[in-house]
Chains A and B, each alone.
Chain A
Amino acid sequence: NAGVMQNPRHLVRRRGQEARLRCSPMKGHSHVYWYRQLPEEGLKFMVYLQKENIIDESGMPKERFSAEFPKEGPSILRIQQVVRGDSAAYFCASSRDNYGYTFGSGTRLTVV
């Protein structure tokens, strides 16, 4: 029973490129959450999705960031035209009922 799978583990992008982060939730989990973590800081909520729906995107910047969780396939967090300030660890979590989150190992994005 695989946990939450995130890929890639590490991603390097040049300024202005696009970053695509993928997250496959645990089997049976229909709730997906994305969090961002800067060094020595806590986890900042970005977006909460269920299949094909964005439930809460209050923590996601309005510009350049988007997220989806299609009927088939993983959830995708997309960052367009990346800037150095986007460098961080991005964690995905899933749950069965918006309770008891299971986190993936994260994607560490470095913008050069």
Chain B
Amino acid sequence: GENVEQHPSTLSVQEGDSAVIKCTYSDSASNYFPWYKQELGKGPQLIIDIRSNVGEKKDQRIAVTLNKTAKHFSLHITETQPEDSAVYFCAASIRGNTPLVFGKGTRLSVIA
């Protein structure tokens, strides 16, 4: 089955700097890659996703890139703000067929 590795496990950045979180996946059939943000005491919230027919997607300060050949994808957050502090999870699945498999998460701290 699918296996998703995520790193780093913790990341501290200064407010205004960029943050990058990377994930690799094992199943070349996976074609859907969402990212979730989880704040303390809450459920994960979808922040951006990408399908395998696209190499990059942007939404304001966040962007995701996908390299299908290398089987890795990354989350980029620019101009970080304190409210970006949370745990971020990447995930992968074969859309419509398999449940999402999640990475272990990255705890992002944005220092004011």
Q: Which residues of A contact B (CB under 8 A)?
A: 4, 6, 33, 35, 41-45, 48, 56, 58-59, 91, 97-106
Judge whether A99 and B96 touch: CB under 8 Å: yes
Given A98-B99, A105-B41, 15 additional A-B pairs, CB 8 A: A33-B99, A35-B102, A41-B105, A42-B104, A43-B89, A44-B102, A45-B100, A45-B102, A91-B44, A98-B95, A99-B32, A101-B34, A103-B44, A103-B45, A104-B43
- List chain A residues, Cβ under 8 A from B102: 35, 42-45
Cα distance, A33 to B43, chains bound together (Å):
13
State how many residues of chain B have any CB contact under 8 Å with chain A: 25
A43-B44, A43-B89, A105-B43 given; A100·B101 CB < 8 A: no
List 22 contacting pairs A-B, 8 Å CB cutoff, sorted by A.
A4-B43, A33-B99, A41-B104, A42-B102, A43-B44, A45-B99, A45-B102, A48-B99, A58-B1, A59-B99, A91-B44, A98-B93, A98-B99, A99-B32, A100-B34, A100-B46, A101-B34, A102-B46, A103-B36, A103-B43, A105-B41, A106-B42
Judge whether A91 and B43 touch: CB under 8 Å: yes
Q: Mark B11-22, 1 if CB is under 8 A from A, else 0.
A: 000000000000
Cα distance, A43 to B87, chains bound together (Å):
12
Secondary structure at the B interface, as helix, strand, loop or mixed, is loop
Judge whether A101 and B46 touch: CB under 8 Å: yes
Judge whether A56 and B99 touch: CB under 8 Å: yes
Cα distance, A102 to B42, chains bound together (Å):
12
Cα distance, A59 to B1, chains bound together (Å):
11
